[in-house]
Structures are given as C-alpha cells and as structure tokens.
Structure 1
Amino acid sequence: MKRLLVLSALGAALSFASAVDAGTLQLNIAFKGADQRAVWERLIQGFEKANPDVTAKVAFVEEETYKVQLPGWLTSVAPDVINWHEGERMAYYARRGLLEDLSVDWQKNDLNSQFASLKTASSYDGKQYAMPTQYFAWGLFYRKDLFEKVGIKGEPTTWDEFLEACRKLKAMGIAPIAVGGRDSWTLAAWFDYLDLRMNGYDFHMQLMNGDIPYTDARVKKVYLAWKTLIDNKYFIDNPLSYSLDSVQPLYIQGQAAMMLMGTFLSPGLPPATKTQTGFFRFPTVDPKIAPAEDGSAECLNIPKRAANKTDARKFLAFIGRPDIDGELAKGVGTLPANNQAAMPEDPIAKTGFQILSKTSGGVAQFYDRDMTKEMADEGMKGMQRFISDPSRLDEILGQLEKTRQRIYNKS
C-alpha cells in the first residue's frame, strides 16, 4: 500500500500552489479529534488500494479552522474534494458557482435511491452539488451516575421535569449543563430546540427563511425560556470561555451533568464515561406542538476549481458505497447516509436514529445549515451577546431585526 501523505493545515496552502500531477488527488478534510481523523485516514488508504493509479494528498484541518479557511480555498487554488455540511451551507457555495454539479453522478451511481432521503438537502436549484456521507441526531447527553446521585428518577420528558432535574443537580453543587459557547453554533442548538418545541417546525423554518421578524413575540418567548436557565445558573460558569473541545472535560470529570449535542460526540468519550452516559430527546415544552428534531447531514463536494475532477468523482463513488459509508458512520458515531449501509452499534447513535425515525413534527438541518450564512453568523453572535448579558435581550433582537431587513430586503 502506498504511503498516505498527510499535510498539516499550515502546509496545505503550499501544496495548493504547486502544480497538480495527474493521478494526484488533493483532499481537504475537516475533523474533530484524533478518532475522526483516524477513520478518514483508514478509508483514504482503502481508496488508494482500490485505485493504485491515484495518490491521495490530504490536508486534515480542525473543524473550526476549516470553516474559516474554506471560502479562500474555493475561490483560489481549490482542493479536489472537500467535506462539508448539507442544506443551506452547501447551497451557499453552489449558488455562487463554487461547487461542481454532481447531478450526472447521482444518476450514474444510483444515488437517487440509495440517498433518497437526503436528495433535497444535497440540491440547489434542481441540481445536486453534494454526495451525503452521514447524518446525526441531536439530544441531551447525560451522566446516569450524577442523575442517580441527586435522586433524578428517569430521563426528563417535559420542560418542568427538566427544570426540576436542573434544580436538583444545582443544589448538590453539580453544574446541570455544559456548553462551549465560544463556538457559537453550540448555542444555536439551544435556540433551535426551544423554538421547535415552543413554536413548531413551520414557524421555525419561516424564521430560518427570513420571513419572521426577530421582534415577534414568539421569538422573544424562546429567549425568555432560555433566560430561565441562565438566571437560575443552570449552565456552567463563563460558558463563552469554553469551546466544545475544552468544555468536554467538565462532563467527562463529572463536574457537569448534561450536554445538548449531536451523536457525533459519542465515539470520543472515554470508555469509563461512556458506560455512565445516556442520551434523551429534548423535552416537550408545549404538548400542543408536534415534536420536531434537528437531523444534521454531512457531505462531500467537488470544488468548481478542482484540478482533478476525474479522480475526485472516483473518491466520492468509493465513499458512497454502502460498506464504506457504513464504516465511516460507525467510526465517527453517526448514521450512514446510504440507506443500504449497516446501522452502527453505538447505543447513542441507535437512540438518535430512533428519535429521528419517530419524529412527527418534521426534521430541520440545524440553525446555521437552514439559514443564509450572513444571517446565521449575525444570529449566533447575538446569542453570544445574550449569554453574556441577558438583560440586553430587546436590544439584541432589535439589532437582529435590522439585520434581517437588510439581508432579506424586507421591511
């Protein structure tokens, strides 16, 4: 097996500037943690073995850095393959002509049937620009041992039960909820779920599409429910000083009892922590609202400026195979996008699958995947300001409304 050349993020720019030899495939892969990187390395080695005329050069870039660097890659000397997010995040670049049209590949490789449920999320203006790789559910990770220690009987299913669980944990000196607010998207999960539970899927998607004012009383109601958690100090202290990576030790060490996060978090938990970890659906707030969920999907794309699109298409076809896609999902704690792939055995992923498959209220992608990028970025900055000083809520919502009117050209 030939050598897999792994480039650091710092060295990636140099590789882009050099001429690309025939049979050399440049991959830029976002990852979170050593486990995810190892999975991709193993699959890329398998691709090279199956395609001995292709040499893969890979830039592994930590996910938050990747998000910042991606626009520059797509508009300059682009890699041949990227991994990215489905939905509006993918459409943002397709709309600007920066991604290759993969509609022919969908027809040729039978993706229309194998990835049927994610075709819409992979499409823009009737054409497909992505190949789905995996998707994951969201819910609350919790420490069973800490729940038992403070006398919480069972997983909370209603908002009142959830608040009571938080009260018991706080009374025993345990932070009920860990959140790494320095990564603003982790805060967006709280907004998504409170909005979906209080206002429902249709309202939520109208808001994501820019059709609802941020000064609407229903939006403020969501923030006021969120404010209850802040005022009662149910979140860890100084959440904006933590990223997702730096906040996880608080959960692992038992200093915090819960985290609202996607199932992808599961594989990185230490075995001792994982045996004490459960996962439950975000509780019902308004029983009259049909429960909707976030079901975020990931994908591979070929940049429009890619130099080696022939081998890039081979790579997408390889990763899209049911056996390979299943192996990827198993390794990163998600669910395979290919409906012919085997489901992973991870108990958290299994619970996530059950949550998504049984939901009756609709499935959204996620806050910054359902909304145009400019509005999502401003919305998440507003959430950070809200966490820092909840008393500024009316001011923050007023600023977001002005931004909405400007971006969507609405009054």
Structure 2
Amino acid sequence: MKKKRGLLLACSLLLAVLTAGCGRGTGEAGGIKTVRIYQFKVEISEALAKLKTEFEKEHPDIRLEIQSVGGGSDYGASLRAKFSSGDEPDIFTIGGNNERDMWLEYLEDLSGEAWAKDVKPLAAEQMTVNGKLYGMPMNLEGYGFIYNKDLFKQAGITQKPLTLTALREAAEKLKAAGFTPFANGYQEWFVLGNHNVNVAFAQQPDPESFIAGLTDGSKRFAGDPVFSKWLSLLDLTVEYGNKNPLSTDYNTQVTMVASGEAAMMQQGNWTQGQIDGIDPDLNLGILPMPIDDTPEDNDKLYVGVPSNWVVNKFSPVKEEAKVFLDWLVTSETGKKYITKEFQFIPALDSIKGTEEDLGALGSEVLEYTDKDQALTWNWSRLPNGMPQELSSSIQGYLGGKLTKEGMLKEFQVNWDNLSVQ
C-alpha cells in the first residue's frame, strides 16, 4: 500500500512539473495559432470582440482570445496571479515607468517594429529604457478644467482664464450669474492623488529630477515654491466649489456639469461619453489649470498614456502577437476602431482622428499635444501606494484635520516610508 501511494505521489509530482514547464502550451492547434490578450479597459470589450472578428477574417491562421478585467476588479493583482500560475498571456496591458520596470524581464523589445517611429515622443517616453521601446501606447488622454462655454458666455467671460487671477475673476462672474463655478469630486482618491497633485509635480522645471530628489533627500515638499502655488489653485476650487466636495463622487461631479448646474470640473476627455449620454449638445472645452499669473507657462494641459500594449517575450506566439499589434495601428480597419469605435486619441502620428470621432474634448487634448503644450503625468513615477497616501492627506487638509504645513509634512513622511520599501 505504501508503494502504491508513493507511486501515485511521484506521478502527481511529475505531472505538476511537466504542467508548470509547459505553461500555456505552444498556442497552436491544427495549424492555427492562438494569441491570448489580457487587458483592463472593460469599456472597449464589446468593440474588441468585433475587432477580433475583423482581424481573424484577414488572418485565418491566427485566433485572438481576449479577456478584459477591470471596472472595479484589481487588474494588476489578477495579472500577477496569471503569471504566478504559469497562465501567461501573450499580449497584456500595463502602465509606464514603475510598472514598466516591474514587468521589464517579460517585455519584448518593440523598437524595431514599423509603427514604432510614429509613436508621439510624449507617449513613448514612459515605455522607453536605454533607447528601447517596450510597449505600444494604447491611446492618449488629457485633463484640465472641463468647462461649459455657454455658461461662460452667459456670465460675461469672453477670454479663457490662463492665470490664477483670471480664473478667480471668472469664478466670481459665474457665481454672480447663479452658477456653481467648480464641481469638485474630491471623494475620489484618483481625482486628488493622481490628477490634482500632479499639477505640482508636472509644473516642476524637471519633474523626474524633482521626484528623484524627494527620494534621495535633496528635495522636500515643505518650502517648494511650485507646491505652494498649487495649493493656491486647490484652495480656489474649494472656495468657489460645490458644498461637501469630500462626499461628492465622480458620477455626481460629472452630472453637475452635464446638467448645467456647475460650469467647470477637473476631469479629462474620458468623460465625453458620459456627458453626451446626459446632454450631447453641450458646448464644452478644456481649460488649463493655472497656478500663478504667467499665462505662457500655464496654457498647457496634462497629457499621458493610461495603458500600453506589451508582448510577452517568452510567448511561443510572440511573432503572431506582433502581427496583431502592427495590424491594429497600420490597417484601415484597425485605425477606424481606434478612433471611431474606441474613441481613443491616437498616440501615433500616423493615425488621425476627427472631432466627430474623438469629441470636442478629445480633439482639444490632441491639439494641445500636437502644439507641444502638454505637461506630463507623473503618478506612475511615485513610490507604490503614494498617490493614495497623497489623496488621504489632501482630504485631511480639505476636511480641516490638517494645516497646509501638516499636510506637506505628511506627504514627506509617507514618501520617505514608501520609497525605502
């Protein structure tokens, strides 16, 4: 009996080793190769299913197997679990900078692909290491203050407020006309911890150097002039904002602007679809977020790449994976899906989108980007968990639990703790 149990145990162990060694197999069956794609933008999952059909018509020897995980699920954790179990996708999506570095050992160098030369420099930067490009940017997104042009006109505002003083004057006029100047969704951690405080990082003379200085101790939050200016802007939004901003969520914030109750909100072009669902005829634009009275420095939006397509360099079908990515950005069908179906702002110069495709907000973000009037997204450069900690401290300040000095001190303590982990 003991011999039989020992034999069964040995067979089980051998099977486990063989299974782990083989992973997901060769990806080939009957001459048809399957490329497995794992991505987090659930809002494009239906369009991706249609795209899959179009691609497979043109490439009968390749099948796509697409899985979308997001919308409240922890995509990052689920992706790590897939790799830990040996169930590795061939194509997956990740952020740049810190996340890129975390996955770098798995990433195929895509620098030699024909489309790589067309990637906008701003989009390529976060996936480039030592001159090598390790990802295809999925799209561009940008944010600032989305504003209702008609409400501005009714309030007598005839020029875009590009200075902090001009923004205060505009807010006064809007308030006098009976409108709430700012809809602030400060309940959401990402509104504060990613987007709002990024203003203070992006406006630094050299954001990457400043972030490195915070880690090596040569820079501090307290006493930094740009962070002081940023706080003036934050205070202004609260002074002229909706009641109870710390209990106002994203949907409420967007609805306030879409319904005409509020004139401005700090958000990006990704809100276009939700706003159109409430009132497709709103006359919208995006304003910069000025932190002082130098208009030439403030007339910029914050533009970045929310995610990147990457190829698993250990995939047995990585060449077929590259065929799909190339088709996505070079074929007329693929380009149509990017602009018309996904409503993405293209991250490649070779893909053009009209205002009808991208919406007024997306078109304005693209215009700022092409005029080189875009500042960077920097939260992917921060220590892991830091954006959430920044948001918590800002909420503490807005709720009256922290002074400005106390908030900046908390920033520093959390940064020092997280940067050494």
TM-score (norm 2): 0.77
Match of 1:258 in 2: 264
Return the match for 2:375 from 334, 353, 363: 363
Return the match for 1:130 from 122, 126, 135: 135
Q: 1:329 to 1:64 in 2, by over 3 A?
A: farther
- Alignment pair present for 1:115 and 2:124: no
Match of 2:351 in 1: 341
Amino acid at match of 1:290: D
Runs of 4+ in 1 over 6 A off after TM superposition: 17-20
Amino acid at match of 1:348: L
Per-residue displacement from partner, 1:205-255 (whole Å, max 9, x unpaired)? 3333344312234254145314422551x3333334444345322222222
Cα distance in 2 for residues equivalent to 1:400 and 1:173: 37
Segment drifting more, 296-305 vs 333-342: 296-305
Cα distance in 2 for residues equivalent to 1:45 and 1:215: 55
Per-residue displacement from partner, 1:138-194 (whole Å, max 9, x unpaired)? 232212333334333343222222122223334455332234334422223222335
Q: 1:182 to 1:315 in 2, by over 3 A?
A: farther
> Does structure 1 conserve the Cα–Cα contact (< 8 Å) formed by 2:201 and 2:378?
no
Q: 1:223 to 1:94 in 2, by over 3 A?
A: same
- Alignment pair present for 1:228 and 2:235: yes
Match of 1:312 in 2: 321
Cα distance in 2 for residues equivalent to 1:55 and 1:185: 36
Cα distance in 1 for residues equivalent to 2:395 and 2:244: 11
Match of 2:391 in 1: 380
> Does structure 1 conserve the Cα–Cα contact (< 8 Å) formed by 2:184 and 2:237?
no
1:135-150 maps to which residues of 2 (within 5 A)? 135-150=140-155
Return the match for 1:193 from 184, 199, 209: 199
Larger Rg: 2
SS at match of 1:335: coil
Q: 1:283 to 1:224 in 2, by over 3 A?
A: closer
Match of 2:92 in 1: 82
Report sequence identity in percent: 18
Amino acid at match of 1:205: E
Q: 1:278 to 1:341 in 2, by over 3 A?
A: same
Cα distance in 2 for residues equivalent to 1:75 and 1:333: 34
How far has the Cα of 1:357 moved from its partner?
A: 2.6
SS at match of 2:279: helix
Match of 2:250 in 1: 244
SS at match of 1:58: strand
Cα root mean square deviation, aligned: 3.4
Q: 1:396 to 1:19 in 2, by over 3 A?
A: farther
Amino acid at match of 2:375: V
How far has the Cα of 1:64 moved from its partner?
A: 4.8
Amino acid at match of 1:157: L
TM-score (norm 1): 0.78
Per-residue displacement from partner, 1:30-73 (whole Å, max 9, x unpaired)? 2264xx34433332332222222333333223355335544444
Match of 2:294 in 1: 287
> Does structure 1 conserve the Cα–Cα contact (< 8 Å) formed by 2:184 and 2:238?
no
Return the match for 1:275 from 274, 277, 281: 281
SS at match of 2:266: strand
Return 5+ residue gaps in structure 1 as ranges. Answer: 1-16
Return 5+ residue gaps in structure 2 as ranges. Answer: 1-22
Cα distance in 2 for residues equivalent to 1:278 and 1:165: 16
> Does structure 2 conserve the Cα–Cα contact (< 8 Å) formed by 1:139 and 1:279?
no
Return the match for 2:410 from 396, 399, 409: 399
Cα distance in 2 for residues equivalent to 1:179 and 1:363: 22
- Alignment pair present for 1:42 and 2:50: yes
How far has the Cα of 1:337 moved from its partner?
A: 1.8
How far has the Cα of 1:271 moved from its partner?
A: 6.4
- Alignment pair present for 1:94 and 2:99: no
> Does structure 2 conserve the Cα–Cα contact (< 8 Å) formed by 1:133 and 1:320?
no
Cα distance in 2 for residues equivalent to 1:161 and 1:322: 46
> Does structure 1 conserve the Cα–Cα contact (< 8 Å) formed by 2:199 and 2:230?
no
- Alignment pair present for 1:30 and 2:40: yes
